[in-house]
Amino acid sequence: MTVTTLPVARNAEERLANIQELRQRVHRMQGTATSHPLPTLPVLDGLVRLRTGASYAVDRPGLAMALMAGPSGAGSWSAVVGVSDFGLEAAAGFGVDLDRTVLVPEPGDAWLEVAAALIDVLQVVVVRPPARVTQHQAARLSSRLRQRDALLISVGDWPHAESRLWIEESTWTGIGRGHGRVTGHRARVAALLHTGQRRDAEIWLPADDLRLRTADQVDQVVEQEPGRLSRVG
């Protein structure tokens, strides 16, 4: 049996962090059903708030990166299953810690088993199901998410998701007539909560400085520095 130990704490802040990590490990080993908020990027505050024990559905990998970036940047380990076009450079730009990210790009027919196994040990699991997810499959992972204090992000529909997010409109910057380099992606993102409530927001995924920002934040920059961003349809 291999036992992983924590480094010796140098100060009170490190000791507190170590205690919290030990508590999380105990919860995972005991399979205690818990649910608590996880860090969510400020740019997504008006759309969704992440919590453990829940599942979220998005329509493309970029939104999955934005969702996982909050927990990942705060120290959570993540996994990405079945998303062969997952862009590492883009994910890092969103704030995903690649050193704490496990990639399984081609799980094949074993995607459900792989996702379940990773939920046992990691806090955030992103998965792209190769086919329609059945109620039974969703229920199987839902129970595991609650027991292991983890959350799931599906690139594609997921039964009984806490929230569903999709991009309704997109505008790109930096592209000329058939040439140029994409420098920004402005999107109208919609979110449908499990309660039936709908929310919308204009977000840059990312802006020309490669950071995630709300449209209001970028518009303020444009007002101060006219011509910095050129909007191209």
Residues 111 and 47 in one domain: yes
Contacts for 173 with CB less than 8 Å, ≥ 6 apart:
182, 183, 184, 185, 186, 208, 229, 230, 231, 232
Residues 203 and 133 in one domain: no
Residues 117 and 206 in one domain: no
Residue with tokens 């076009």: 85
Residue 26 lies in a domain: no
Last residue of a domain, one of 163, 185, 202: 163
Q: What is the total count of domains within the chain?
A: 2
Residue 48's CB is within 10 A of a number of other CB atoms, namely: 24
Which CATH number is 143's domain given?
3.40.50.300
pTM: predicted TM-score of the whole model, two decimal places: 0.77
Task: Supply the range of the domain harboring residue 177.
Answer: 164-232
Residue 217 lies in a domain: yes
Residue 130's CB is within 10 A of a number of other CB atoms, namely: 13
Between the two ends of the chain, the Cα-to-Cα distance in Å is: 58
Residues 53 and 151 in one domain: yes
Per-residue pLDDT of the chain (233 residues), as tens digits, is: 434 444 544 566 666 666 566 655 555 555 555 689 999 999 998 899 999 999 999 999 999 999 999 999 999 999 999 999 999 998 999 999 999 999 999 999 999 999 999 999 999 999 999 999 999 999 999 999 999 999 999 999 999 999 999 999 888 776 655 555 556 788 899 999 999 999 999 988 877 766 777 766 554 444 445 554 444 33
